[in-house]
A and B are shown apart, each in its own frame.
Chain A
């Protein structure tokens, strides 16, 4: 961390010149490669498929149709322009009342109606990015610590720390228990921090998890709430993926737990929720972030800070109308769940066919893929990066290596599946399957003739043999001098999770 000093002084601030925004990391190489050679079904069928972008593109048609059928929700149409002046003028940081009500209503519906939210506690922000930064500014001073379970969303390093000066200490989760977060692990991390004389202000987590796609069980969430209450520290839950839960499963929001617990077990002044429409509705461009707190002072402070990232009044109006349309919302949530579930199923099934498993998950726009068996060295992150470069440059899929999420075990990759159409997903699967098969065939002398059977056969011995030969084939790739292109200067697109 160095400031740009010339002649003993500094022209720019420390913040402007340090690396804490995290955008100089090598993970942007994948993005750069994609930008140079982006896949297109007809125009560039051999290009790189973007699977590093956690976007939800599956239900935009439903939203588009609604907009077409509801011209009054726009201030630009003949039906809606009478509202133009009032809306264009409206910059009250409380936000349009109808907007807050609609958001509170939508949040309740996205949690199956099991909880209700108070519109007076809804505070706007510049996306969840703005919301997470704002909540840090409200709760912590420079040098204070927040605990974050890892693996975690890479941009937390920027959003929680960069301008706030807050420190993040990860609570490492491992595959030994399917990356489940336990209160014991949080307790341990908390104690360790205290021993190093650090001031822990709270715990922040994403639920459903990015990058895991898993959800906390109700009991775990209850125990976490009890824990923070005992220690008098804050709990911030980023529920940005709340409605990306696949059909047939229930998401337990921290709001539900707050309702369920007795008042002596939970100090509600410590509980805060971050939300956004970027994932559930697939509208990241509209910059709708929400801070929801049970603490009046935090609501008040966050609201004043929202001046730095209010939602465009044009957008507020449109969403106020859309999200109060119960028929639309109910249908949307149901369809979205269904389509995500199907997409997830198709993808994971296709991966299973070539012996690739993913962490079992019920939500999210991605899978947490287990490629440890393909690593040259299971204990080395260098191996992970080598494998990653092969996937980007040879298999031509931009995926995100686990190390970019601070995962402590090499070999895991986050692979997004909801930011493309069915055909593209099919191509991606095909490429993975072809690649795995091709490398099986390379050692065909010892292979049985029936490749399909081998792939489908879960015999541990054959599995092991196959895996060790796959590793051999990768080693050959490494040895063939298939070194990755040198680390390119960062392109620095927006870190879109």
Chain B
């Protein structure tokens, strides 16, 4: 008899993938400016560490929130005992308002439609449990967050079918790609329950366009059982608020509020990226469907937010002056930091996808590949992790269909560390270039040698000239 469940013995948790392996290497040899200056710099972690000073200064000015006090009175007992899955209403109200502000107040959120969960990890899984049965499928545009393989599929039994996006059009979702994914699901006899997007996108760092929204809403309108889930966890990392269009805004603009589509669109949110508080495990589901809210609320019992944390954050987010200023500063700092990474990369001939949000860049290293294959991508990635000592995320771990793209995070380190990372990468690229120049002159010197050698050299030359061609096309 099997001792464990199938879930325990399969690897749908996805944690054997390279995304996590890079992490493990980092853990073995982590960079520290003083203690381990030659260690691996973590650039595979989409964290926002740029604004802790703002949070810390707020704490210094608001001692009550720190000490379980409200208006000078202790509320410790109340908080210690509070486990109502409806959540602290002051916190939900503050969160709903914060979400509105994040969207330039172009939409408003009703706190009764919010369900608190233990991080977006739990929110995404819970939504799958509510919307799909085991064996159903959700369509996801590639490349996508590697954690989705675990969050959406593992314990729920739901399948993911990729909507293949490519660099030819900046990785935008096309109607054709969506149809192809749907057909693919049908071929596999899977019942498609909807589409899940991340907006702004992880790993691309781009916001969903109105065109893409039209395609998606058209699609789910055709079939009454399909949902659109928009994971808006990065909504506060947009460099310019006006460029972020929430799916709720689209529904409002298209006047779909009184249609049934309105009830089949759901948002996932979290404070892990915008506020840089992943440790506090604050996630949320927002839906206009009362049945979804009801089911999700009951399920949240399996992962409620600590009352201590709810209270702290309700005070923080109710401070409108603070939240306005925070959002603005956060955006400014992220934008600056992104610029530094992008220009640093450009200076060594590496391009990135034009992005307007996120804590990372989607970097084009196709020209550094030995061949246009995922094996070559893995080889390059290993060189970058072990030799250059930067943990970045290979595109294949994000299910990208084209080899050579990498997600590089920029907001989880100091500016000096970023500079160092760029310096290391530049050395690697320069060394690579000079190796190529050396080998080209070598091949010219060896032109007159044996056929065998010639074959070897000309293969090598072929590979090199392939690289050179691409370099020119830049």
Q: Please tell me if the beta carbons of B8 and A139 are within 8 angstroms of each other in the complex.
A: yes
B binding-site residues for A, Cβ under 8 Å = 1, 3-8, 13, 15, 47, 49, 52, 55-56, 59-60, 63, 65-68, 74, 76-77, 79-85, 118-119, 121-122, 125, 129-134, 136, 150-151, 155, 223-225, 264, 272, 276-281, 291-292, 295, 298-299, 301-309, 312
From A12-20, A106-114, A379-387, A477-485, give the one contacting chain B. Answer: A12-20
Q: Please tell me if the beta carbons of A312 and B155 are within 8 angstroms of each other in the complex.
A: no
Q: Please tell me if the beta carbons of B59 and A81 are within 8 angstroms of each other in the complex.
A: yes
Interface presence of A127 (CB below 8 A): yes
Residues A309 and B55 in contact in the complex (CB < 8 Å), given A301-B4, A492-B298: no
User: With a CB–CB cut-off of 8 A, which chain B residues contact A159?
Assistant: 301-302
Closest residue of chain B to A494 (Cβ to Cβ) is B85
Q: Please tell me if the beta carbons of B292 and A12 are within 8 angstroms of each other in the complex.
A: yes
Q: Which of B3, B67, B299, B306 is packed against the most chain A CB atoms within 10 Å?
A: B306
User: Roughly how many angstroms separate A137 CA and B5 CA in the complex, as a whole number?
Assistant: 7
**What are 24 A-B contacts defined by CB distance under 8 Å?**
A10-B133, A13-B133, A16-B131, A67-B68, A78-B60, A85-B52, A85-B56, A88-B277, A126-B302, A127-B304, A130-B302, A133-B302, A137-B155, A163-B155, A163-B299, A286-B307, A308-B118, A310-B118, A314-B279, A314-B308, A318-B308, A493-B84, A494-B84, A494-B85
Query: Which of A15, A286, A308, A493 meets B80, CB within 8 Å?
Result: A286
User: Roughly how many angstroms separate A171 CA and B303 CA in the complex, as a whole number?
Assistant: 29
Q: Please tell me if the beta carbons of A232 and B1 are within 8 angstroms of each other in the complex.
A: yes
Interface presence of A474 (CB below 8 A): no
Closest residue of chain B to A5 (Cβ to Cβ) is B225
Known: A159-B301, A297-B8, A313-B279. 8 other contacts (CB 8 A): A10-B133, A60-B77, A67-B76, A78-B60, A278-B83, A284-B82, A309-B302, A313-B281
Q: Please tell me if the beta carbons of A88 and B4 are within 8 angstroms of each other in the complex.
A: no
User: With a CB–CB cut-off of 8 A, which chain A residues contact B6?
Assistant: 141
User: With a CB–CB cut-off of 8 A, which chain A residues contact B55?
Assistant: 84, 88
Query: Which of B1, B3, B134, B292 meets A269, CB within 8 Å?
Result: B3
* A-B CB pair tally, cutoff 8 Å: 235
Residues A298 and B264 in contact in the complex (CB < 8 Å), given A57-B77, A304-B13, A493-B84: no
User: Roughly how many angstroms separate A278 CA and B299 CA in the complex, as a whole number?
Assistant: 19
User: Roughly how many angstroms separate A133 CA and B300 CA in the complex, as a whole number?
Assistant: 12
Interface presence of A55 (CB below 8 A): yes
Q: Please tell me if the beta carbons of A129 and B264 are within 8 angstroms of each other in the complex.
A: no
Closest residue of chain B to A92 (Cβ to Cβ) is B279
- A130, chain B: closest CB distance, angstroms: 5
- A18, chain B: closest CB distance, angstroms: 10
Residues A87 and B74 in contact in the complex (CB < 8 Å), given A74-B67, A76-B312: no
Residues A21 and B298 in contact in the complex (CB < 8 Å), given A64-B77, A76-B65: yes
- B71, chain A: closest CB distance, angstroms: 17
User: Roughly how many angstroms separate A137 CA and B65 CA in the complex, as a whole number?
Assistant: 37
1/0 per residue, CB under 8 A from B, across A140-182: the answer is: 1110100000000000001100010000000000000000000
Q: Please tell me if the beta carbons of A314 and B295 are within 8 angstroms of each other in the complex.
A: no
Closest residue of chain A to B297 (Cβ to Cβ) is A492
User: Roughly how many angstroms separate A256 CA and B133 CA in the complex, as a whole number?
Assistant: 42
User: Roughly how many angstroms separate A310 CA and B279 CA in the complex, as a whole number?
Assistant: 9
Interface presence of A330 (CB below 8 A): no
Interface presence of A89 (CB below 8 A): yes
Closest residue of chain B to A311 (Cβ to Cβ) is B306
Q: Please tell me if the beta carbons of B13 and A163 are within 8 angstroms of each other in the complex.
A: no
Q: Please tell me if the beta carbons of B15 and A141 are within 8 angstroms of each other in the complex.
A: no
Residues A308 and B303 in contact in the complex (CB < 8 Å), given A4-B291, A91-B281: yes
Q: Please tell me if the beta carbons of A285 and B308 are within 8 angstroms of each other in the complex.
A: yes
Interface presence of A7 (CB below 8 A): yes
Q: Which of B4, B67, B301 is packed against the most chain A CB atoms within 10 Å?
A: B301
User: Roughly how many angstroms separate A142 CA and B133 CA in the complex, as a whole number?
Assistant: 13
Interface presence of A436 (CB below 8 A): no
Q: Please tell me if the beta carbons of B81 and A57 are within 8 angstroms of each other in the complex.
A: yes
User: Roughly how many angstroms separate A329 CA and B300 CA in the complex, as a whole number?
Assistant: 31
User: With a CB–CB cut-off of 8 A, which chain A residues contact B122?
Assistant: 126, 307-309
Interface presence of A138 (CB below 8 A): yes
Q: Please tell me if the beta carbons of B224 and A11 are within 8 angstroms of each other in the complex.
A: yes
A binding-site residues for B, Cβ under 8 Å = 4, 6-7, 9-17, 21, 23, 55, 57, 60, 63-64, 67-68, 71, 74, 76-78, 81, 84-85, 87-91, 126-127, 129-130, 133, 137-142, 144, 158-159, 163, 199, 232, 269, 278, 282-287, 297-298, 301, 304-305, 307-315, 318, 492-496
User: Roughly how many angstroms separate A281 CA and B236 CA in the complex, as a whole number?
Assistant: 38
- A469, chain B: closest CB distance, angstroms: 41
Q: Please tell me if the beta carbons of A89 and B47 are within 8 angstroms of each other in the complex.
A: yes
User: Roughly how many angstroms separate A334 CA and B117 CA in the complex, as a whole number?
Assistant: 35
Q: Please tell me if the beta carbons of B225 and A55 are within 8 angstroms of each other in the complex.
A: no
Residues A77 and B66 in contact in the complex (CB < 8 Å), given A11-B225, A140-B5, A304-B13: yes
User: Roughly how many angstroms separate A497 CA and B74 CA in the complex, as a whole number?
Assistant: 26
User: With a CB–CB cut-off of 8 A, which chain A residues contact B272?
Assistant: 91
User: With a CB–CB cut-off of 8 A, which chain A residues contact B121?
Assistant: 307-308
- B397, chain A: closest CB distance, angstroms: 17
User: With a CB–CB cut-off of 8 A, which chain A residues contact B119?
Assistant: 91, 307, 310
User: Roughly how many angstroms separate A64 CA and B76 CA in the complex, as a whole number?
Assistant: 7
Q: Please tell me if the beta carbons of A126 and B304 are within 8 angstroms of each other in the complex.
A: yes
- A84, chain B: closest CB distance, angstroms: 6
Q: Please tell me if the beta carbons of B66 and A15 are within 8 angstroms of each other in the complex.
A: no
Q: Please tell me if the beta carbons of B225 and A301 are within 8 angstroms of each other in the complex.
A: no
User: With a CB–CB cut-off of 8 A, which chain A residues contact B309?
Assistant: 312, 314-315
Closest residue of chain A to B310 (Cβ to Cβ) is A285
- B472, chain A: closest CB distance, angstroms: 43
Closest residue of chain A to B280 (Cβ to Cβ) is A312
Q: Please tell me if the beta carbons of B8 and A138 are within 8 angstroms of each other in the complex.
A: yes
Q: Please tell me if the beta carbons of B281 and A312 are within 8 angstroms of each other in the complex.
A: yes
User: With a CB–CB cut-off of 8 A, which chain B residues contact A9?
Assistant: 223-225
User: Roughly how many angstroms separate A88 CA and B302 CA in the complex, as a whole number?
Assistant: 22
User: Roughly how many angstroms separate A133 CA and B136 CA in the complex, as a whole number?
Assistant: 22
User: With a CB–CB cut-off of 8 A, which chain A residues contact B52?
Assistant: 84-85, 88
User: With a CB–CB cut-off of 8 A, which chain A residues contact B56?
Assistant: 81, 84-85
User: With a CB–CB cut-off of 8 A, which chain B residues contact A17?
Assistant: 291, 295
User: Roughly how many angstroms separate A23 CA and B5 CA in the complex, as a whole number?
Assistant: 27
User: With a CB–CB cut-off of 8 A, which chain B residues contact A301?
Assistant: 4, 7-8
User: Roughly how many angstroms separate A77 CA and B7 CA in the complex, as a whole number?
Assistant: 42
- B190, chain A: closest CB distance, angstroms: 14
Q: Which of B5, B133, B155, B312 is packed against the most chain A CB atoms within 10 Å?
A: B5
- A153, chain B: closest CB distance, angstroms: 13
Q: Please tell me if the beta carbons of A141 and B76 are within 8 angstroms of each other in the complex.
A: no
User: With a CB–CB cut-off of 8 A, which chain B residues contact A139?
Assistant: 3-5, 8
Q: Please tell me if the beta carbons of A314 and B130 are within 8 angstroms of each other in the complex.
A: no
